[in-house]
């Protein structure tokens, strides 16, 4: 998997050039709603990762090359196949990218490592941080995020709160229900999440639900329920914008040369399953054309089809 993916149409960031700064699917959590599949590997920190991480120079060089290729990028975003803050030189990479572009830099993180001073400083050097907080209490945190040993939701929330004093924070809350794992949308669970948000004081709260197919038996919550929670949060948190993340954002990117399209589709799908429409928006080519490439890739066994809530998604094949 390469370091750079996209640009992909992000529902929150517009056209986002993604940076995947970790060597493989590694994360400090094992969320029940994760889309990255069973191949991901849970660690407590970078010390437990044996493979070398992409260096700041490698990351910066690939970003520079990508910026020459694509016309319109709204954000350069550290995210990718796992937890990006596991890269121990994240701050240095941000600094190097800043030396050649004015495009704002965003960080999408599960927040777990923000308690480490080096990770906190790296996050603070970004233009925007999108941390996740799916639980306000330990029981829900352990059930939904299934963290590696040693992570405590109170400490993580404190660190997000400190970060919100120095950099804009859009806090994402993923809301879901599951017969197997329970939910984080009970009256009590939402009350605890609201308490944490009140302490963090983010610049915005993004309420989300799992619209793409996770591997585990997890269900999105209904639009009515999302709206009910939004109204409850607005009443409890006056002055904090509470936004329900829209299902899709339309945008365009530069037309890729034909021989690059299959490779680009595989890179995008390696990060997350997409519909034909998602790929059409990302690649800037028409749906019929995208369909042609998807059919070829599916035939060769490189990608597979998955139906989730009546919508057809494509994902990289598991084997």
Q: Name the site residues for ligand SF4 (rule: CB under 6 A).
A: 27, 29-31, 34, 36, 82-83, 110
In angstroms, give the least distance from the CB of 132 to ligand SF4. 7
User: Taking the CB of residue 97, how many other CB atoms lie within 10 A of it?
Assistant: 20
In angstroms, give the least distance from the CB of 14 to ligand SF4. 21
Considering the complex, state which of residue 34 and residue 119 has its C-beta at the smaller distance from ligand SF4.
34
In angstroms, give the least distance from the CB of 27 to ligand SF4. 3
User: Taking the CB of residue 309, how many other CB atoms lie within 10 A of it?
Assistant: 11
In angstroms, give the least distance from the CB of 162 to ligand SF4. 20
User: Taking the CB of residue 82, how many other CB atoms lie within 10 A of it?
Assistant: 26
- What's the burial of 1, exposed, middle or buried (CB within 10 Å: 0-12/13-18/19+)? middle
In angstroms, give the least distance from the CB of 82 to ligand SF4. 5
Distance (Å, whole) CA 265 – CA 279: 7
In angstroms, give the least distance from the CB of 213 to ligand SF4. 13
Considering the complex, state which of residue 172 and residue 281 has its C-beta at the smaller distance from ligand SF4.
172
User: Taking the CB of residue 9, how many other CB atoms lie within 10 A of it?
Assistant: 26
- Find where tokens 């260096």 sit: 55
Residues 6+ apart with CB under 8 A from 292: none
Whether residue 130 contacts residue 107, with contact meaning beta carbons closer than 8 Å, is answered with yes
Distance (Å, whole) CA 317 – CA 204: 36
Helix (H/G/I), strand (E/B), else coil: 42? strand
Considering the complex, state which of residue 147 and residue 202 has its C-beta at the smaller distance from ligand SF4.
147
Whether residue 127 contacts residue 106, with contact meaning beta carbons closer than 8 Å, is answered with yes
In angstroms, give the least distance from the CB of 28 to ligand SF4. 7
Distance (Å, whole) CA 106 – CA 126: 6
Considering the complex, state which of residue 34 and residue 303 has its C-beta at the smaller distance from ligand SF4.
34
- Find where tokens 């009515």 sit: 224
Q: Which residues face 303 on adjacent strands?
A: 316
Whether residue 63 contacts residue 19, with contact meaning beta carbons closer than 8 Å, is answered with yes
Considering the complex, state which of residue 145 and residue 280 has its C-beta at the smaller distance from ligand SF4.
145
Considering the complex, state which of residue 82 and residue 213 has its C-beta at the smaller distance from ligand SF4.
82
Considering the complex, state which of residue 193 and residue 283 has its C-beta at the smaller distance from ligand SF4.
193
């Amino acid at each position: 998997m390469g370091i750079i993916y996209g640009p992909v149409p992000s529902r929150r960031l517009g056209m986002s050039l993604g940076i995947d700064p970790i060597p493989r699917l590694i994360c400090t959590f094992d969320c029940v709603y994760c889309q990255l599949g069973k191949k991901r590997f849970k660690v407590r920190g970078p010390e437990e990762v044996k493979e070398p991480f992409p260096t700041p120079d490698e990351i910066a060089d690939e970003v520079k090359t990508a910026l020459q290729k694509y016309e319109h990028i709204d954000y350069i975003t550290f995210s990718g196949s796992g937890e990006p803050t596991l890269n121990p030189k994240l701050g240095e990479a941000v600094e190097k990218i800043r030396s050649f572009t004015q495009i704002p830099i965003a960080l999408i993180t599960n927040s777990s490592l923000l308690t480490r001073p080096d990770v906190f400083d790296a996050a603070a050097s970004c233009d925007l941080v999108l941390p996740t907080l799916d639980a306000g209490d330990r029981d829900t945190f352990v059930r939904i995020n299934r963290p590696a040993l040693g992570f405590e939701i109170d400490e993580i929330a404190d660190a997000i709160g400190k970060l919100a004093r120095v950099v804009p924070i859009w806090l994402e809350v993923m809301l879901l229900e599951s017969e197997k794992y329970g939910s984080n949308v009970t009256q009590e669970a939402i009350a605890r999440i609201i308490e944490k948000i009140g302490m963090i004081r983010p610049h915005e709260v993004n309420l989300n639900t799992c619209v793409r197919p996770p591997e585990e038996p997890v269900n999105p919550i209904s639009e009515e329920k999302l709206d009910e929670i939004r109204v409850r949060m607005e009443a409890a948190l006056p002055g904090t914008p509470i936004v329900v993340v829209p299902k899709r954002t339309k945008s365009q990117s530069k037309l890729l040369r034909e021989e690059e399209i299959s490779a680009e589709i595989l890179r995008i799908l390696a990060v997350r399953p997409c519909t034909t429409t998602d790929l059409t928006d990302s690649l800037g080519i028409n749906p019929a054309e995208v369909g042609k490439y998807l059919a070829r890739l599916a035939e060769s066994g490189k990608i597979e089809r998955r139906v989730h809530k009546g919508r057809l998604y494509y994902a990289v094949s598991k084997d």
